[in-house]
Amino acid sequence: MTPATAIDRARQLDPLKLSSVEIRRLSREVRLSKLTADVRIAFSGNVVFEPLPEFTEVHLACDGLMASSHITPFGQTQQELLDPESGLRRFDANFLMLHFELDALLPGLRDRPIGEGPGGWRTLVKEVIAAIEPAVRAALENTNSVVLLTNFTGPDCYELGIADSRAEFGQQEFFSKLNSTLSKAFRTEPRVQIVDLCRIMAYHGRGRARDRRLYYVAKVPWHESFLPVLAEELVRHIGAALGRIRKCLVVDLDNTLWAGVLGEEGPDGILVGMGDPVAEAHFDLQRRILALKQRGILLAICSKNNPADVDEVFQIRTDMPLRRDDFACVEVGWELKIDGLQRIAAELNIGTDSLVFLDDNPAEIELVRQFMPEVECVTVPPDPALRPMCLDRVHSLDRALITAEDFARTTQYQANARRNSESRRFSDLRDYLMSLKTRIVVREPSPDLLPRIHQLFTKTNQFNLTSRRYAIGQLERWMADDASSVLIAHAEDRFGDLGWIGAILVHDLDTSEARIDNFVLSCRVMGRAIESAMLNRVKELAFERHGCQTIVAEFLPTAKNAPVREFFEEHGFTVAESMVDGGKRYRLRRQDSSTTPCDWLAVVINS
């Protein structure tokens, strides 16, 4: 096979529908392609992981990512993390899965008497966390990996049997307390993600997920039928951490958001609500869609309908979970839905590859797939009972971390629409910018802003000078390095809080030549000279505070960052080298530097 064929073929497949034989065959094909790995994932703990890495690599290939895997020697997690020359450290994994079986983690666990009492069980919780924490801390300190740490599943049968629920701090309560304590222990660590093994084993069936015979013989803990479920969960975490996310869910209305055709049934005739099985299914679907908004996913409507009818249904049907103002954009009319999707993307100033489209009509779905293949399409299942779950496997709607900006996303875009409307009153751009009364803060971030910085570098596409993406661990190290600086900007104006909207990464501040590694800015605030104010701060930082003589920078072209092609030229930089792909390298000497005026901004430095 040619190198690209295996990945291309994998992208057309649903890995959960492949047999174990097909998984292994596809794994060999992908590995033989010898493509450069997009993702390096390591597995470590006190079990034998094979063949989980194969399944994970295939699931990633089906998601369009080439992966390579590394398994540490059995039970050697701490040694591998502490030794700079170990195979794990040299592999330089982007992701490290840590899984520990409880009996092997604390060998004396089985000897604990059942009647030890609540004090003994609570002490055991602390002992388990204390046994795990050194490995997690070593991973955070010695690698750049995102740690995928599994939680603990309880036994198939409690030692006290059905009386366990009556016991003061029985086994059921112990495992619940253990897992909640585990989550709390690492909740503030942006590079630790808890893989909820309890949930996915319960979904698959705990008895079917475990393979006792294999565990006793070879220390392989999971039945082969469970590996695709676990691999998909890992890929879900990996995709979210890499920023492979979509920003907007676009929904159809008739027989999607509700059952029935609005133009025929009227507002009172469509089914959504309580008391009817089909109506309740759509009520639950709306609740799940509303929960996506709370993750920071924008919601939009694209429907063939009369606009007045749609306005009426949202006014009358106040029993629906979704309200009209939950949607950042509404396209209702009788034109092709591909045209509506284009307008939604344009109005929200995002790419069409940021859209997920939900519709009940297979013909509409096929049309979008044919003419807009970059849009992820989901068909509403024919069975109403399955409709609430139809978005559960759309992992591009997942978020590894939810930031304050995510919670405010819809409000921010609606405020932006008001700004755009206001701009039409002005014939002079400067007058409009002055009227906004924009205030920005440019500062070096505190650790709590690390997730937002990572989000900005992974999600921003248009105003992105090099499109370099960084692991959270890399950003964490640079923030602590005196020779590097990460600057982040916050903005607000008379229409509201815009949030943390821009970041710049600068290296080599301890030399005569500082280097801008990347500069990103949310597309919501482009064109206000906020970018100029941020670059002014970089000039001050490099030339005045650190005494550098030169700043060097790059523009690396992508399909989306054409709007910033001339950014550095416009700010006084000289082209030092032009590359054949359209990229450019720049220099700015201290004696040639000047501050770019942006007096319509109130700029606060290091506030």
Q: What is the pLDDT of residues 384-441, one digit of tens each?
A: 999 999 999 898 898 877 777 777 777 777 777 788 777 778 888 888 888 889 999 9
pLDDT band at 322 (very low <50, low <70, confident <90, very high): very high
The tokens of 564 are what? 């910033």
Residues 155 and 262 both lie in one domain:
no
**In angstroms, what is the C-alpha Rg of the chain?**
27
Residues 160 and 289 both lie in one domain:
no
The whole-angstrom separation of Cα 543 and Cα 552 is 12
Single out the residue in 217, 241, 265 at which a domain terminates.
Answer: 241
Residues 228 and 274 both lie in one domain:
no
Residues 422 and 387 both lie in one domain:
no
The DSSP symbol for 543 reads I
Residues 259 and 339 both lie in one domain:
yes
Instruction: Give the count of beta carbons closer than 10 Å to the beta carbon of residue 143.
Output: 21
The tokens of 18 are what? 């492949």
Q: What pLDDT is attached to residue 281?
A: 96
pTM for this prediction: 0.82
Residues 426 and 466 both lie in one domain:
yes
How does pLDDT run across 106-161, given as a tens digit for each residue?
A: 887 665 655 566 677 788 889 999 999 999 999 999 999 999 999 999 888 887 78
Contact between 201 and 209 under an 8 Å Cβ cutoff? The reply is yes
How does pLDDT run across 157-213, given as a tens digit for each residue?
A: 887 788 888 877 778 888 899 999 999 999 888 899 999 999 999 999 988 999 889
Residue that is written with structure tokens 């109005």 in the block: 347
Single out the residue in 202, 223, 241 at which a domain terminates.
Answer: 241
The tokens of 185 are what? 């222990």
The tokens of 416 are what? 């932006």
Q: What pLDDT is attached to residue 57?
A: 94
Residues 21 and 86 both lie in one domain:
yes
* Domain assignment of residue 341, given as a range: 248-397
Residues 127 and 229 both lie in one domain:
yes
3-state DSSP assignment of residue 324:
helix
CATH number at residue 179: 3.40.50.1110
- Check the CA dihedral 388-391-392-398 and report its sign: negative
3-state DSSP assignment of residue 94:
coil
Could you report how far apart the first and last alpha carbons of the chain are, in Å?
A: 57
Residues 66 and 180 both lie in one domain:
yes
Q: What pLDDT is attached to residue 3?
A: 47
Residues 411 and 388 both lie in one domain:
no
Closest CA to 57 of 71, 74, 78: 71
Single out the residue in 204, 221, 241 at which a domain terminates.
Answer: 241
The tokens of 163 are what? 């009386």
Residues 270 and 379 both lie in one domain:
yes
Domain count, the chain: 3
Residues 265 and 371 both lie in one domain:
yes
CATH number at residue 598: 3.40.630.30
